[in-house]
Structure 1
Amino acid sequence: MDDLKTKSLHAGAMRPRIGGAITTPIFQSSTFEYHGEDYHDIGYIRLSTTPNHVVLGERIAALHNAEASLATGSGMAAISAAILTILSTGDHLIVQDCLYGGTTGLLSSLKRFGIDHTAVDAQDPSSWGAARRESTRAIYFETLTNPLVQLADLKAVVEFAQEHGLVSIIDNTFASPVNFQPIVVGFDLAIESATKYMGGHSDICAGCVVGSRKRIEEIKGTLDLLGGSLDPHACFLLERGLKTIGLRVPHHNASAMRVAEFLSAHPMVEKVNYPGLPDHPQHDRAQQLLDGFGGMLSFELRGGTEIADQFLGALKLPAVAVSLGGAESLIVRPATAVHAGLSPQERIATGITDRLIRFSVGLEETNDLLADFETALQAAEPG
């Protein structure tokens, strides 16, 4: 079973089938019979040991070509459990300079527990050594950054971590295992918000962490204590979403490419951020590392925020909402939502202007999206 589309249907499936059911039943039981298991293996929802959790863990691991994985109650549950497993009071973490807002907030809050971090220029590996301390234990990057869709030299991250004995962690949410498999490249841990492309339908909140069996067992121990488990019904919905990820993500990729090309050629658009475009600063790297450029892009219209808001208000198909990776297209100004927790100075420092628009391309017919964009751009045109 080598093809991702086949794995997404069959990896980890229960055999023999329960009552002949083709899909995994929902085991809506908080507890299961005890047969002498160690504490963390007891059948209990909070311990992520229901049959739904077991099937899901094996399937996600297979999609990433990894030994093991752990489904969690959210992407932040996966991030916090991983970081709090690896780092303790007095430890230090190296991170790239533009991270998801939730991750940034978590790292800031951990300072009061004596866990520090240093941000480095993701595009300059030669500068990372200056950030390393004796207390540095790990390095944390993202495959594609939010919302500027930048791509670091990920192979250099792995090499740096191995050279200095650090745990390498990557948030692979924007790429999904369809476009990039971090464990294959050499990362120790890959994290995803499964709410996004893995679930694919904007109807669950979930996450996962993937890696070696030993590391996942350690992280599970932390998650068991934090209580960030996924309920069985959400497990069922995530497993259902994974069955079509190999079909959905290529459509996201292709449609986003066409939207990016359309916007790049439009006179009202000043800038487009999408790694599939030849003028993207990391385009060559993206071609080498990724199997697809993803379904997320961002852009800036000429004029102020008023023009951007008029454009958003005139759209008919995309919903103005946070999140990404669902069937329906979603669009938002990050400065007012996703990164509203950052100060204006912090946003500008990371390149996030007030008029920047982030667009998660859904599964609509691309020609319909382009027609909607054209109409909305005309409606927002000054004069």
Structure 2
Amino acid sequence: MPKTYQNIETKLIHAGEPEERIRGSVSLPVFQSSTFEYGGQSSYHDLKYIRLNNTPNHIALHKKLAALENAEAALVTASGMGAISTTLLSLLSPGDHLLVQNCLYGGTHDFITKDLTKLGIFYDFIDGSDPESWEPKLRAETKVIYVESMTNPLLQVADLIAVVEFATAHHLISMTDNTFPSPVNFRAPEQGFDLSLHSCTKYLNGHSDIVAGAVIGRGELIQQITHKLNHLGASLDPHACFLLHRGMKTLAVRVRYQNESALAISKFLEHHPAVEKINYLGLESHPDHERARELFDGFSGMLSFELKGDVEVADRFIQNTTLSISAPSLGGVETLITRPATTSHSGMSQEDRQALGISDRLIRLSVGLEATEDLIEDFDQALTP
């Protein structure tokens, strides 16, 4: 009988591991084999084959990820966008409709607004904090409601409990991109979400050396998505599985430190005279602070802010930092800094970004594992005229 574990720290180490260590190996070996001996399987999806995401490396990850969010099942994919696109393509058909939060990661926004529409799948944007406005946008063809647990890059929090209640009342599938909080801070299936999606490239792996994605949630939905993924081919290589599996084991200690560090940095920036506005859910000044405090176990290592002045001021600040690396992505051990208008949201038009409040001078910061004091000192000198 599989062992069960109560706390996430223990699940990260032990959940999903082989019941008997393979040849006594403490670390799960890499099964870098594209195919496996036929074992009499009657279903195509049960064949042991690397593209079907069912090598021993995949299976261990699936069990561990499901355990982290107390869900029935999980699936890893070749990227976060692979998880998002495959999931939506599995659940929506031509003529279907979805409700989607108006502030999203740029890649998700573009996929929904540009790619799904070409397939005859329609959408309406919703204000995640205004549940009263959702029902008028419902159609008979509406199948899915999609939000982000913490929005990228403005760190907004939708009324997530209302999302689940609305989905249940109207027989919709509820989905959230849970990348920013990570399972340490928020476990969406515990709150009733049908599916929780992750870019494992970020916090789950945590070391900026792979690209991967995950879908976690209800077993029948994960099976449906798995079958679609088997045909689309967005499978994760076993060596990337190994690196993700290894990186996840330190997730709890990494994220909790990043929570604390980001809060201290946010407090410093909030009171700096050069800073015009800051978005961090751990600050009492954030409009969604109380909701986040009730829902989350921590506020993540993500924040964004605007300096007084123009885009050149923002660029000069980024160039003047010595510890932060100017690069896209997030959630790694290194502190990364970027302007979303030039990276994560560059595919959106300037008009669309501005309508959402994503200015060209907005700076997004992913706090790493450097000493908090060193980061604050570096930001202070970079802000000094």
TM value normalised by structure 2: 0.98
Alignment match, 1:203: 209
| Aligned pair partner of 2:9 in 5, 9, 12 | 5
- In structure 2, give the amino acid aligned to 1:17: R
Asked if 1:320 is matched to 2:326, the reply is yes
Q: CA RMSD in A?
A: 0.6
Deviations 1:194-225 (A, max 9, x none): 00000000000000001121111110000001
**What's 2:27 paired with?**
23
Map of 1:279-294 to 2, 5 A cutoff? Answer: 279-294=285-300
1:41 maps to: 46
Alignment match, 1:149? 155
Selected match of 1:58 from 56, 63, 66:
63
Supply the AA of the counterpart residue of 1:133: R
In the TM superposition, 1:186-265 aligns within 5 A as 186-265=192-271
- Measured after TM superposition, the shift of residue 163 of structure 1 is 0.4
- Deviation at 1:234? 0.3
Aligned to 1:124: 130
Residue number among 162, 175, 181 corresponding to 1:175 in the alignment: 181
Structure 2 distance, partners of 1:72, 1:340, is 24
Counterpart of 1:352 in structure 2 is 358
Percentage of identical aligned residues: 55
1:16 corresponds to which letter in structure 2?
E
Rounded to whole Å, the distance in 2 between the matches of 1:187 and 1:119 is 19
1-side partners of 2:379 and 2:336: how far apart?
13
Gaps of 5+ in 2: none
Do residues 68 (structure 1) and 73 (structure 2) align? yes
In structure 2, how many angstroms separate the alpha carbons of the residues matched to 1:354 and 1:246? 33
1:137 aligned onto 2:136: no
Partner of 1:110: helix, strand, or coil? helix
Q: Residues 297-331 of structure 1, C-alpha deviation per residue, up to 9 Å, x if partnerless?
A: 00000011111111111100110000000000000
C-alpha distance in structure 2 between counterparts of 1:216 and 1:143, whole Å: 20
In 1, are the aligned partners of 2:324 and 2:335 still within 8 Å (CA)? yes
Cα distance, 1:243 vs structure 2: 0.4
Distance 1:115 1:36 in 2: 39
**Take 1:95 and 1:47, find their aligned partners in 2: how far apart are those partners?**
29
* Of 299, 308, 317, the match for 2:314: 308
How far apart are the structure 2 equivalents of 1:158 and 1:130? 17
1:15 deviates by 2.2
Asked if residue 95 in structure 1 is aligned to residue 100 in structure 2, the reply is yes
Give the CA deviation at 1:193: 0.3
> How big is the shift at 1:337?
1.5
**Per-residue deviation at 1:4?**
0.4
- Tell me the amino acid that sits aligned with residue 8 of structure 1: L
Q: Aligned residue pairs: how many?
A: 379
Runs of 4 or more above 4 Å deviation: none
Task: Indicate conservation of the 8 Å contact 2:95/2:121, yes or no.
Answer: yes
Measure, in 1, the Cα distance between the counterparts of 2:112 and 2:314. Answer: 31
Q: Which amino acid aligns with 1:79?
A: I
Q: How far apart are the structure 2 equivalents of 1:117 and 1:225?
A: 25
SS at match of 1:94: strand
Tell me the distance in 1 between the aligned counterparts of 2:288 and 2:365.
19
The 8 Å contact of residues 107 and 347 in structure 2, kept in 1 or not, is answered as no
Matched AA of 1:233: H
- Structure 1 counterpart of 2:90: 85
Structure 1 counterpart SS, 2:236: coil
Deviation at 1:232, TM superposition (A): 0.3
Please state if 1:161 is matched with 2:167: yes
The CA distance in 2 between the partners of 1:131 and 1:103, in whole Å, is: 20
Aligned partners of 1:36 and 1:210: how far apart in 2? Answer: 29
Q: Name which of 369, 372, 378 aligns with 2:375.
A: 369
Q: Give the 3-state SS of the residue equivalent to 1:6 in structure 2.
A: helix
How far off its partner does 1:157 sit?
0.2
3-state SS of paired residue (1:342): coil
> 2:36 matched to which residue of 1?
32
The CA deviation at 1:274 is 0.4
